[in-house]
Amino acid sequence: MDFVQRTIDIALQNVAEGGRPFATVIVKDGEIVAESPNMVAQTGDPTAHAEILAIREACTKLGTEHLTDATIYVLAHPCPMRHEPREDAVEVYRFWQERNGGERRVAGAPISA
């Protein structure tokens, strides 16, 4: 399965249903363990970001508060509420930004030389 495309599809469906164009898919061992669109507009809850909802679902399903060895696919800039402000906390995002000529800065992280 193309997890990036799945993330895009969830976001597109959310927009069609009146939501915002953000989504998250969490994968572990090649399987989707959680997925969610951003539900802020639908619920009026400012914490109902796709990342937060998917992380909650994944942790509940896996019975843990740690998502070690999981990959989090996010459509949009990762929400600063979902990671520590450490550059190494979002390796995939950082590398994607570098590969695409983006600035090597994550919310709250210092700029590397």
Q: What is the pLDDT along the chain (113 residues), one digit of tens a residue?
A: 899 999 999 999 999 999 998 999 999 999 999 999 999 999 999 999 999 999 999 999 999 998 988 999 988 755 555 544 445 544 455 444 455 555 544 444 444 44
Burial of residue 70 (number of CB atoms within 10 Å: 0-12, 13-18, 19+): middle
Residues 103, 58: one domain? Answer: no
Residues 14, 56: one domain? Answer: yes
**Which is catalytic among the residues 51, 84, 91, 103?**
51
Question: Domain range for residue 28?
Answer: 3-76
**51 given a catalytic annotation:** yes
Residues 72, 82: one domain? Answer: no
Tallying the residues shown for the chain, one arrives at 113
